[in-house]
Amino acid sequence: MNVINFQDANCAHCYKCLRNCDVKAIRIKQGQAQIVTDMCIYCGHCMEICPQEAKTFDSDLAYVKSLLYKKERVVVSLDPSYRGLLDYEDSGQIVDALLKLGFSQVRETAEGAAIITREYVRLMKEGKMDNIIVTSCPAIVYLVEKHYPMLIPYLAPVVSPMIAHGRWIKDRMGQHTKVVFIGPCVAKKMEAEADSRTRGCVDAVIEFNELQKWLEEEGIDLKHCESRPFANQDPMVNQLYPITNGIIRAVDVCGAPGTYKKLTVSSIKSCREFLHSMKRGYIDHCFVELNLCAGGCVNGPGVDKRRGFRFKATMSIENNALLAAPPAYITLPKEELERTYVPRQVVDKMPTEAEIKEILKTIGKSNSTTEFNCGACGYMTCREKAIAIYQGKAEAAMCLIRSYENARSQANVVMETTPNLIFIFDKEMRIREFNRRAEDVFHTSRQDALRMYLFELIDTKDFEEVYHTHENKLRVKQKWEQYNMTVLETIVYIPSSDRVLAIIEDVSAEEKQAERMLEQKLNTVKLAQAVVEKQMTTAQEIAGLLGETTAETKAILTKLRDTLLES
């Protein structure tokens, strides 16, 4: 199962997703971005940043609506990050809105967190683990399992609050009860629906963004809803889970011993840095809380970032959570709390040094000076990119510099070999491009021309006219007396750059040929005229002797002369 969909047609080959995927779980195939599921940690970041919206969340909304339509018993497990992320005046208004949509009960996932906090405290008290990594973030679990499997022994062997909550709701209300988690991210959906270890505890996952749209469609304005109580007791300090340091504060309030150093780390970059450090053995006896999103779940991918609500959410959570341990009113049997982890790292085959060099050569990087390491393709270095090509994750055509050079060299061939003069100038008549043929005609090198104004070389009347009127001139014949040339001027305004392109066809040779032909013709006609006149004089003399008219002969000879003129 996949929770992120790709729409090939929308992908604009910008590689932004690849550049921003910290674990490089994106492969480009035939120009299209695809997720490498073996490496993906479902952080949802690529969905957030894709300018084309080519990747979309595989929504459960239709399924949830169908459950409600069939009047099934559907209970909401509401992630505590709702505070501040949804636009309400009183949190009870969310309960009212969700009940209006048809849900049977609305409970806070923080109830599940209360059970998990007790488990974390137990692990600390037992003191059997060298380090304890705690998190309610499935993306962190996937990050460790897929990219740092050697650190699995440090993952607290405890399910997440969402899973604990789903299990508890079903245990209490019957397995037929459907549980819908409403929260901030795609990773939770993966954990709920695609992970065989936890599948079935939660039946569907909806993101806050989706809920917001749904409420709008139904015409439900949170601010106009009544305030109704949640079905659960106050989970108190466990409400802090979605913000950084939330778990640590919860365990402290709930009786954690002081035997472990405590640390909180958030954001994928910092988490990876921390895990590297742990891998090297620099971290010892540490209880560390990791969150993949900077600042915690209040900054998850399913949250509308444009509204900048995460700080409001953080403050709201801080202000509302009672810093006290709730009564142990819910529990789960030990086996329902346990979690196992499996190493799932995929190790790609590495190319040899010679193979890397060979691939680099095919993308035009024959030596280190041509390895620009620009990162535009999504890989930090040309070498990394060559390795990715070897592993079937990247394509040679992704090198933008190479594509640009190819395009430029093709354009250069045209500029260098065309018999036409080509130049581009700007609104000040400053020359911006100047080809080889123009160099020949104007006896000016390109280098010099690019420092000159067009009027230094030629009368610019036609060119200025096109710039000012934006009316192009197509193959207009002109005499360039100064250069002893006849030309066909094609002058085109380029709106995107506010410049003018001139393509000048030198037709001097054709023109001279035509002039020569005309001259020959006129000479022939002159000759014919002389012949006609001479013949007419002779004919008139003979006709005078014979007493006949020469009119017919004159008509024939005149026609012959006119035909010569016309041809």
- Of the candidate residues 27, 33, 249, 423, the single one contacting ligand SF4 (CB under 6 A): 33
Residues from 50 through 109 that contact ligand SF4 (CB under 6 A):
50, 52, 54-55
- Of the candidate residues 93, 177, 264, 291, the single one contacting ligand SF4 (CB under 6 A): 291
Q: Which stretch binds ligand SF4 (CB under 6 A): 252-260, 286-294, 399-407, 420-428?
A: 286-294
- Hey, what are 25's tokens? 């779980």
251 lies in the site for ligand SF4, by CB under 6 A: no
How far is residue 192 CA from its own chain's centroid? Answer: 28
Task: Determine the Cα–Cα distance for residues 115 and 514; give it in Å rounded to an integer.
Answer: 99
Q: Which stretch binds ligand SF4 (CB under 6 A): 170-178, 232-240, 288-296, 313-321?
A: 288-296
Type of residue at 184:
P
How far is residue 11 CA from its own chain's centroid? Answer: 8
One-letter-per-residue 3-state SS of 451-478: CCEHHHCCCCHHHHHHHHHCCCEEEEEE
- Cβ of residue 266: shortest distance to ligand SF4, in angstroms? 7
- Hey, what are 134's tokens? 């705690």
16 lies in the site for ligand SF4, by CB under 6 A: yes
292 lies in the site for ligand SF4, by CB under 6 A: yes
Task: Determine the Cα–Cα distance for residues 35 and 33; give it in Å rounded to an integer.
Answer: 7
- Hey, what are 200's tokens? 């079935």
Phi, psi of 316 (to 5 degrees): -65, -40
Nearer to ligand SF4, 343 or 544 (CB): 343
Nearer to ligand SF4, 161 or 235 (CB): 161
- Hey, what are 386's tokens? 């060559």
Nearer to ligand SF4, 296 or 326 (CB): 296
Q: Helix, strand, or coil here: 155?
A: strand
- Cβ of residue 86: shortest distance to ligand SF4, in angstroms? 15
35 lies in the site for ligand SF4, by CB under 6 A: yes
Length of the chain: 567
14 lies in the site for ligand SF4, by CB under 6 A: yes
Q: Which stretch binds ligand SF4 (CB under 6 A): 15-23, 433-441, 449-457, 468-476?
A: 15-23
23 lies in the site for ligand SF4, by CB under 6 A: yes
Burial of 232 per CB tally in 10 Å (0-12, 13-18, 19+): buried
Is residue 288 within 8 Å of 263, Cβ to Cβ?
Answer: yes
Nearer to ligand SF4, 55 or 393 (CB): 55
Residues from 181 through 210 that contact ligand SF4 (CB under 6 A):
184-185, 187-188
Task: Determine the Cα–Cα distance for residues 225 and 214; give it in Å rounded to an integer.
Answer: 15
137 lies in the site for ligand SF4, by CB under 6 A: yes
Nearer to ligand SF4, 40 or 388 (CB): 40
245 lies in the site for ligand SF4, by CB under 6 A: no
Task: Determine the Cα–Cα distance for residues 331 and 333; give it in Å rounded to an integer.
Answer: 7
139 lies in the site for ligand SF4, by CB under 6 A: yes
Task: Determine the Cα–Cα distance for residues 550 and 537; give it in Å rounded to an integer.
Answer: 10
- Cβ of residue 58: shortest distance to ligand SF4, in angstroms? 12
- Hey, what are 276's tokens? 């590297």
- Of the candidate residues 12, 323, 324, 474, the single one contacting ligand SF4 (CB under 6 A): 12
Strand ranges across the sheet with 499-506:
431-434, 421-425, 499-506, 485-494, 473-480
44 lies in the site for ligand SF4, by CB under 6 A: yes
Binding residues for ligand SF4, rule: CB under 6 A, are: 4, 11-17, 21, 23, 25-26, 33, 35, 40-46, 50, 52, 54-55, 137, 139, 184-185, 187-188, 291-293, 296-297, 300
